[in-house]
Structure 1
Amino acid sequence: MDRQITASTCCYCGVGCGVLIEHDGERILGVSGDPAHPANFGKLCSKGSTLHLTGDLTARALYPELRLGKGLARSRTDWDTALDHAANVFAQTITEHGPDSVAFYISGQLLTEDYYAFNKLARALVGTNNIDSNSRLCMSSAVVGYKRSLGADAPPCNYEDLELSDCVMIVGSNMAYAHPILFRRLEEAKSRRPQMKVIVIDPRRTDTCDLADLHLAILPGTDVALFHGILHLLLWEDWIDRDFIKAHTEGLAELKKLVRDYTPTMVSQLCGISVEQLQQCAEWVGTSPSFLSLWCMGLNQSTAGSAKNSALINLHLATGQIGRPGAGPFSLTGQPNAMGGRETGSLSNLLPGHREAANAEHRAQVATYWGVDQLPENAGLTAIELFEQMRSGKIKALWIACTNPAQSMPDQTAVREALQACPFVVLQEAFHTTETAAFADLLLPAASWGEKDGTVTNSERRISHVRRAIGAPGEARSDWAITVDFAQRLEKHLRPGATSLFAFETPAQVFDEYKQLTRGRDLDLSGISHELIDQLGPQQWPFPTGAREGTARLYLDGVFPTASGRAQFVTDPYRAAKEQRDARFPLTLITGRLRDQWHGMSRTGTAAQLFGHVSEAVLSLHPDELRRHRLQPGDLINLKSRRGAVILPVSSDDSVRPGQAFLPMHWGDRFLKGGVNTLTLPAFDPLSKQPELKHSGVRLEPVNLPWQLFALIEGDVQQHLETLRPLCEAFSYASLSLAGRERPALLIRAASATAPEPQLLRDIDQCLGLNDGPVLAYDDPRRSIGKRVRIENSRITAIRLAGETLAQHWLQSLWLEGRADEQLRRWLLAPLSAPPGNTGAPASDSKTLCNCMNVSQNAVCAGISRGLDLQGLKQELGCGTQCGSCVPEIKRLLAATAQPVAVTS
């Protein structure tokens, strides 16, 4: 094979890692970190290092599909028919109901060129500000925080600051899971400089906390009170920079009046921490030579998200810790190009070049540049508002691109009702398997990672060139090209005979037009081009025309892009989260990330090995909560909020406090019946309009579901998932996941109060290939128990247990080991179903601890029992030597098995 290497970027989080794609021109064969890329210097996390294993073609959208009426199935069509139909529907809708009757909901995973094309389409051609992005769910509170406090949406820091800082505060971020490459960098810096202080503020004790010198396990949503309490102590102890405050800020006098009341005792009670912890935190912040803060969704996804962001930035302004190495407020971006979206104006309140849609002068500037008379004045709908208006019938046509609102939006019952109610839904997407795809009247296949060309901006304002390695499969096309093609067709209806606004033939042309809208602005990137990045490497903005290198840090001169040139202290009081614990809903549900999954699992959900560490949705509860509810680990419960309910198992986890529960945010309806966001609430911050996805009021209710089902099928897991998932609707509880590496398989766990109709089991068996062939079977109709195992070439290839499932974990182990011995035959034909040699309980030590090197927890524990330390485990097993994400868990196992030292007198 003609193996080639193409340098590009990772498509997951906002770290913006460089990757080297190995391919033969037609297929992607492997991926490795790019040693020359300044974001990661060759390192990749467990997700990035498995990119070549994702994107299963059976999950990909390969050709346009059109539904000609609600309730009908979509059928394959060609691009001309698809886009002509879309242009006709949009044009007719705009003519009859006005431009604000249509909307666009796009994504932080799009490239900058894609974003710009959509913005020009919505604002210049359609004439609506109804264009919002899933970044509204991610970074919009950080945007407001930066703009209110510093004057512009511009993170001032650089990744090098993680290594240079003397005190690093991580707030509302399990950085070890969400941004692992940056966390490894911080980890290495602390190992070189142990005197560096690391403070982690998080209601849960996460893997990130293992690096912390101080963990403040505050009560959910109390961040503003905490920051005000820290500022109270900074002022009291005179740990502030008076010269900086006097020369470069304004508004402290008013803020002083507010924080005077946030005494240590009051803050201790509000936040659920000790006075001593608060004082220690304030001392390190106030006395360290440099202070850096890092934050993510724990601050942003809140009804007080904007206040939290500004209250944190207040600490930097009070101490003068901004505009120099190792210091500053540094938001960690959730998506690969959420920054690029903000730059191009892809939130409903923004315009390209960090302009405001509500600002008449800004609108005039952009309209003149685009060559149109005017831009729309009406305020655009933000994400939550958009789906509310769609549900009420005001939005008649919606174009969704590269995002999955039927999984990611809160209050999923309402969101799915809105999608169902909308007369025309277009989905421009790489994967036809997403939850949103079922609602699409028109599905347009988009190119994905490794198949498209453009740019992205990472968390440190660094622009990278995303390069295409192979062509897109089937008839899939690049997002910017789809958008431009549609816009040109829509122009014939809305601007007949006029010169096209969309005369683009390459993504470089799109970028070159867009960058001129940044000239002279705070983010000036007029000096950047695709070619320049290819020559000099990824560059940080601002990078004006004539520059020779990007700008590593902002505000070094203490001048801020505000009307006065001064940074602003923002005075917002603490306001509690929308839903507090009460008698009806006595638990606070916290959502967060898993180590090896990403967002809605559209991509990671196609790679079986990424399920090895955590294989299914489980609710984590403190052991005291389990005892209080008389539950055992593995028991099924009905988790209810004010909006919906989902059935799932519980686990014992002392990393969460009593009164709280934790559930990973990734599990949508495709993998867990109902999905996590059936529970979350749509209440949003009044300024950023970002919803409070992080915490909701919930309660546990017992369920009695004695009839259980377990199924496993090797082979085409995406096809099996597509055919078997609808059949699981008949069960009260259904969880689907993948397993294996060389031989991936789909796993199903389900439960109901009573046995289903026999035909349903026959249909499931048909999908599993268990109705004929080399199948061992046992049935006990009186007890509604049935067992089926397919054995081919002395290996298990399919399993179905119905009625009770005690043997599921034993059988799964046999499948993984590739054997089917005589014990299996004896067990199958026995009247009792208990597996040989054990109770059939899940073996937690069999999970994959290190995904990179395929090392199980069992192997690590065996190594520890032989006396191996961390270095020994790395050398012998290879675990922890690649991305390092497993190291905190290995350290905990080492600590748990450490022998007490004998003390003699």
Structure 2
Amino acid sequence: MTDPAQASTIKTTCPYCGVGCGVLATTAADGSVSVKGDPEHPANFGRLCSKGSALAETLSLDDRLLYPQINGKRESWDTALDLVADRFAQTIAEHGPDSVAFYVSGQILTEDYYVANKLMKGFIGSANIDTNSRLCMASSVAGHRRAFGSDTVPGTYEDLEKADLVVLVGSNLAWCHPVIFQRIEAAKATNPALRVVVIDPRRTATCELADLHLGLKPDTDVALFNGLLAYLAEADCLDQSYIDQYTNGFDGALAKAGPVDMAKIAGQTGLSAQDIALFYTMVARTEKTVTVYSQGVNQSVVGTDKVNAIINTHLATGRIGRAGMGPFSITGQPNAMGGREVGGLANMLAAHMAIENPDHRELVQSFWQSPSMATRQGLKAVDMFRAVGEGRIKAIWIMATNPVDSLPDADDVAMALKACPFVVVSDVSTAVDTLAYADVALPGAAWGEKDGTVTNSERRISRQRGFLDLPGETRPDWWALCEVAKRMGFAERFDYADASEIFAEHASLSAHDNDGQRDFDIGGLADLGRSGYQDLDPVQWPVRAGQPRRDSRFFAGGGYFTPDRKANFIAVEAVAPRKRERTYPFVLNTGRVRDHWHTMTRTGKTARLSAHMAEPYAEIHPDDAASIGLADAELVEVKSPHGRVVVRALVSDKAQKGSVFVPLHWTDQFASTGRVDAVVAPETDPVSGQPGSKFTPVALSRVSSSWYGFAILRDKPNSILSDYWALAPAPGGWRLELAGLESTDLQHLAQELGGSAASEAQILSYEDSAGGTSRFAIWDGVHLVAAFFFAAQPVEVSRQWAASLLETPAMTGVDRYRVLAGRPPADRPDPGAIVCSCFQIGANQIADAAKGGADSVEAIGKVLKAGTNCGSCRSEIKSLLGALNEKETANVDIAKAG
């Protein structure tokens, strides 16, 4: 796709979160790729987070699925596609259209999504197509539709910079949407009036920017925002004119909220009455208020009610659709919004139309000229896989997602797929746990290869452009779907030459019989043609044909998409969170870490991104750890009635008492027992169908390990015979955490893990029987093959120093024996745990710089460069400096007391 004689730069879009950052991908003459932010893209203006900055490091083909497979054996595309079409057609003929299903992903492009939805709903005739976006933003969709009559995000990113108060609810922006966090951080630096409130049970990195942190009890958001609605009414802060002209149901919502009772709200939320009053006063006095919410709101069995409780406060004050104000849902995936636009959810139709509306169904069917239109909503994700397990769904096509790891009650999902008569998996990687259950595996195009569009959280459509040739026999997902559709007898309606033709049809449908009656309208883009599509600049919808562009915000002057064009206040009730049984007294919360993404099929390829968090962990409050006799860095079991994980304990006062946080990323590819969604309960919101991934009652118990180990390895081990392990890439090889429940021959284990080269290499060893410590280093000449550090307690060794040894030749015997010391020599100080991924700067380096007078984030940047590239680590640097300052103050106080 590029001239090999010269470098070529392509504008494309980042494939990670819903921020939708523009990327400049440059392919050099030698084929190497470099990535930087696009300074002209209005989502990021050149900024990229740590993950985006490392995209070029994730493009290797070492684990790519390159050819179609049937039962694990390579086959031709024709053979594989014939089988898929025949089995789906046969299953439909014997058991009806609802016996088959598609489970797709916010990782696919809008054009892929469109074709999948069209095939399932309009030609197979079932709505059994759902997406992993159900797991991250379905409650927001449901809340929007209840309040606005449509799934409309009213505002834009610019509102976050124009606001005087930004309220972040259940949103760790600093880690999960770093570029948006950086935009708010920059706005706060230039606008002294801007205040930030963070509402989150955990004290996350985002709290470093907060003027107020409200660490409420899990799932008590409705109580807090119902109280705010009542307070706004009692404080005479309502926009009565807006309420009267543009809304319905205010009196009912206010009555359900009840009178302001600070003591009661404090009891419900666990917050102090003083902090609640401060928050309410800040909102009441600040017209330009934006409420940003994400997974802490959506991933709840009362998620839709949380969304509407937030929206109610904005409708009541008329703070919606104008610059610097409004409710704002931040999506988790790069194309969650595109999936919503084409009807990728089981309860929606294409172009934001409603499947329950017969007029909408007729409109879409006539446009598609389809033979058999779905007449009711299909099964949502959790129910879909329950139906697979029960045998009601007999054929399923899973595309660009990993439900064996990412769905709640994940072990049951695995069992369901194992029993399913026919499973198709389209993916780019062989290192995906779900692939083990595939009868047919289809190799999809990956980021950098595929061509299409995505829509970000502010309704901005951007192009993802290919800049790499398709490797092997990989193909775009839309192509595979169309080929199956043709084989099922629908060739005429799925005959697209390329993605531009699919986009044109999608845009035409959005405008078909619309006339302003529906929010989603990009009819102005329907006639772009192939060249116009190729050159399409980022654009926010709506883009109506024949109409001048207007302010892209919605609802400042009403114009909702309900039958009477008025918004609906939704009366929501604050219900007590689910009770914790005595057997399961803690609450499990799951979420992301800064430098990893979903199930790590991309970020798990790069040592730089693994340096920050290299193994799964459980963040536990010190009091809770003490109650079960657990020390920091020991192993802890987190168990529910559904499953268990064993992970590293991270004892921290940033955790709330009674709660435990375990990140969602680790799979069987990277850890022995780290699949946390096996523990998560499959309970869902009754309106949205979204799982409550932030609240599962669990039990915690200390795992009594006989020994612990840490290793660095040149070669990836084929198998790891250890009760506990966690594997991650390191510079020049791999790093491995180990632990065993019973004593074992540690030298033999080291030789096994060292691989075939270990039998012929020089082995150096050190053992301290009294201290329970042993170390082994395996050398091939001056090059280290592997090094192992074992102890009776969690191993205290500088991980960053040890990992660097694989790329550091040892020229003398002294150099080799230094490895066994387990610490760097005096001329190579230990950098400590990595804080800045871009420049590999550790906590010890930051602490040393602070002692030398670098007492601010900016000063650290000048001395070490940390925080000056992607900026994702700035909040952690600030937190670390704060902790160092507190420690220094405490030492001074002790000295004075002495």
Query: How far, CA to CA, are the matches of 2:221 and 2:211 in structure 1?
Result: 19
User: Secondary structure of 1:809's partner?
Assistant: coil
Q: Does 1:766 align with 2:767?
A: no
- CA 1:627–1:105 in 2, change beyond 3 Å: closer, same or farther? same
- CA 1:864–1:803 in 2, change beyond 3 Å: closer, same or farther? closer
Contact 2:123-2:373 at 8 Å conserved across structures: no
The alpha carbon displacement at 1:709 in A equals 4.5
- CA 1:775–1:588 in 2, change beyond 3 Å: closer, same or farther? same
Contact 1:20-1:34 at 8 Å conserved across structures: yes
The alpha carbon displacement at 1:827 in A equals 8.1
Aligned to 1:747: 736
Q: Does 1:511 align with 2:483?
A: no
Aligned to 2:215: 217
The alpha carbon displacement at 1:178 in A equals 0.8
CA distances 1:287-324 after superposition (whole Å, capped 9, x unpaired): 21211110100000000010000000000011110011
Q: What letter matches 1:352 in structure 2?
A: A
CA distances 1:140-168 after superposition (whole Å, capped 9, x unpaired): 10001111011110101011101101111
Query: How far, CA to CA, are the matches of 2:389 and 2:684 in structure 1?
Result: 18
Which of 728, 738, 743 in structure 2 is aligned with 1:737?
A: 728
- CA 1:65–1:185 in 2, change beyond 3 Å: closer, same or farther? same
Contact 1:770-1:789 at 8 Å conserved across structures: no
Which of 40, 43, 58 in structure 2 is aligned with 1:39?
A: 43
Aligned to 1:791: 779
Contact 1:108-1:135 at 8 Å conserved across structures: yes
Aligned to 2:599: 600
Q: What letter matches 1:731 in structure 2?
A: S
- CA 1:822–1:623 in 2, change beyond 3 Å: closer, same or farther? farther
The alpha carbon displacement at 1:712 in A equals 2.4
- CA 1:806–1:487 in 2, change beyond 3 Å: closer, same or farther? same
The alpha carbon displacement at 1:700 in A equals 1.4
Aligned to 1:854: 840
Within-5 A mapping of 1:142-291 = 142-261=140-259, 263-291=261-289
Contact 2:103-2:396 at 8 Å conserved across structures: yes
Query: How far, CA to CA, are the matches of 1:218 and 1:269 in structure 2?
Result: 10
Within-5 A mapping of 1:201-600 = 201-261=199-259, 263-491=261-489, 500-519=492-511, 520=514, 521-528=518-525, 529=528, 531-532=531-532, 537-549=537-549, 551-578=551-578, 580-600=579-599
Query: How far, CA to CA, are the matches of 2:745 and 2:683 in structure 1?
Result: 39
- Residue identity over aligned pairs, in percent, reads 39
The alpha carbon displacement at 1:276 in A equals 1.4
The alpha carbon displacement at 1:25 in A equals 7.8
- CA 1:315–1:26 in 2, change beyond 3 Å: closer, same or farther? farther
The alpha carbon displacement at 1:125 in A equals 2.4
Query: How far, CA to CA, are the matches of 1:811 and 1:184 in structure 2?
Result: 29
Aligned to 2:849: 863
The alpha carbon displacement at 1:555 in A equals 1.4
Query: How far, CA to CA, are the matches of 1:545 and 1:582 in structure 2?
Result: 58
User: Secondary structure of 1:711's partner?
Assistant: strand
- CA 1:145–1:641 in 2, change beyond 3 Å: closer, same or farther? same
User: Secondary structure of 2:198's partner?
Assistant: strand
User: Secondary structure of 2:10's partner?
Assistant: strand
Within-5 A mapping of 1:77-92 = 77-92=75-90
- CA 1:547–1:4 in 2, change beyond 3 Å: closer, same or farther? farther
The alpha carbon displacement at 1:242 in A equals 1.2
The alpha carbon displacement at 1:702 in A equals 2.6
Aligned to 1:70: none
CA distances 1:702-746 after superposition (whole Å, capped 9, x unpaired): 32220444432225xxxx2xx53xx33x53322222223xx2424
CA distances 1:319-341 after superposition (whole Å, capped 9, x unpaired): 11001100111100100011110
CA distances 1:437-457 after superposition (whole Å, capped 9, x unpaired): 111121111111111111111
Within-5 A mapping of 1:554-703 = 554-578=554-578, 580-674=579-673, 675-703=675-703
Higher mean alpha-carbon deviation, 387-396 vs 532-541, is at 532-541
User: Secondary structure of 2:386's partner?
Assistant: helix
Aligned to 1:30: 34
The alpha carbon displacement at 1:532 in A equals 4.7
Q: How many residues align?
A: 871
The alpha carbon displacement at 1:549 in A equals 3.7
Query: How far, CA to CA, are the matches of 1:512 and 1:449 in structure 2?
Result: 22
Query: How far, CA to CA, are the matches of 1:28 and 1:745 in structure 2?
Result: 23
Q: What letter matches 1:152 in structure 2?
A: S
C-alpha RMSD of matched pairs (Å): 2.7
Q: What letter matches 1:890 in structure 2?
A: I
Q: What letter matches 1:702 in structure 2?
A: R
Q: What letter matches 1:693 in structure 2?
A: S
Q: What letter matches 1:19 in structure 2?
A: V
CA distances 1:103-157 after superposition (whole Å, capped 9, x unpaired): 1000011111000111111122222111000011011100011110111101010
Query: How far, CA to CA, are the matches of 2:543 and 2:659 in structure 1?
Result: 46
- CA 1:535–1:382 in 2, change beyond 3 Å: closer, same or farther? same
User: Secondary structure of 1:81's partner?
Assistant: helix
Contact 1:103-1:131 at 8 Å conserved across structures: yes
Contact 1:244-1:320 at 8 Å conserved across structures: yes
CA distances 1:376-402 after superposition (whole Å, capped 9, x unpaired): 224311100011011111111110001
User: Secondary structure of 2:34's partner?
Assistant: strand
Contact 1:158-1:460 at 8 Å conserved across structures: yes
Structure 1 runs not aligned, ≥5 long: 68-73
Which of 839, 859, 868 in structure 2 is aligned with 1:872?
A: 859
Higher mean alpha-carbon deviation, 290-299 vs 853-862, is at 853-862
The alpha carbon displacement at 1:656 in A equals 1.1
Q: Name the TM-score, length of structure 2 as normaliser.
A: 0.92
- CA 1:261–1:669 in 2, change beyond 3 Å: closer, same or farther? farther
User: Secondary structure of 2:519's partner?
Assistant: coil
Which of 855, 861, 873 in structure 2 is aligned with 1:886?
A: 873
Q: Does 1:127 align with 2:119?
A: no
